[in-house]
Amino acid sequence: MQRPSTGLVALSGFFALGAIIAGATSVALLFPGAPLQPMWRLNPPAYVALQGMGAWAMVLMVAVAAGCACSAWGLWIRARWGHRLAVALPVVNLVGDATNALMRRDLRTLIGLPIGVALIAYLLSAGVRSQFTTAKAAV
């Protein structure tokens, strides 16, 4: 099997990084006051919001980490399910960003909209989709 295109390698790395960050967030929620605690200085409102969710925050962050990890792997091996998941994740993020902008009046989340649209447009482009038509899912 040929190596994925540069764009897919970059997106695989992007989703892998997302998995690492979501995983670290899960650990930081599970062990408050541990060495990862300073990470909350980057986004204090996120800490407050996640703490308010209780145990559901852990479930959410583990799901995000798993989704990102699976997407990274699926793009790397060019499996159709990986492509579908890679499209679905930014769609869900777009909905979340738009909801935060409207409901919480947090206009900072609007920066995610053009980024998400660009990711989706790239993933749905003919050149990218064609890389998934002949690839076999190696699991």
Is a pLDDT exceeding 80 seen at residue 25?
A: yes
| pLDDT tens digits, one per residue of 71-97 | 999 999 999 999 999 999 999 999 988
Domains of the chain, residue spans: 6-130
| pTM to 2 decimal places | 0.85
DSSP assigned state of 32? T
| pLDDT tens digits, one per residue of 27-62 | 888 888 778 888 888 888 888 888 888 889 999 999
Helix (H, G, I), strand (E, B) or coil at 54: coil
- Write down the pLDDT at residue 94: 92
CB 87 within 8 A of CB 80: no
**Helix (H) or strand (E) run with residue 70 in it:** helix 55-76
User: Residue 90 class from Cβ within 10 Å (0-12 exposed, 13-18 middle, 19+ buried)?
Assistant: buried
Residues 12-42, buried b or exposed e (16+ Cβ, 10 A)?
Answer: bebbbebbeebbebbbbbeeeeeebeeebee
Query: What gap in Å lies between CA 89 and CA 105, rounded to an integer?
Result: 23
Residue 12's nearest CA partner among 88, 97, 111, 78 is: 78
| pLDDT tens digits, one per residue of 96-124 | 888 888 888 878 888 889 999 999 999 99
pLDDT-based confidence at residue 6 (cuts at 50, 70, 90): very high
Which of residues 80 and 4 earns the better pLDDT score?
80
- Write down the pLDDT at residue 115: 92
Is a pLDDT exceeding 60 seen at residue 134?
A: no
Q: Which residues neighbour 82 within 8 Å (Cβ) at sequence distance 6 or greater?
A: 70, 71, 73, 74, 75, 76, 132
What is the amino acid identity at position 25? T
- Write down the pLDDT at residue 135: 46
CB 28 within 8 A of CB 39: yes
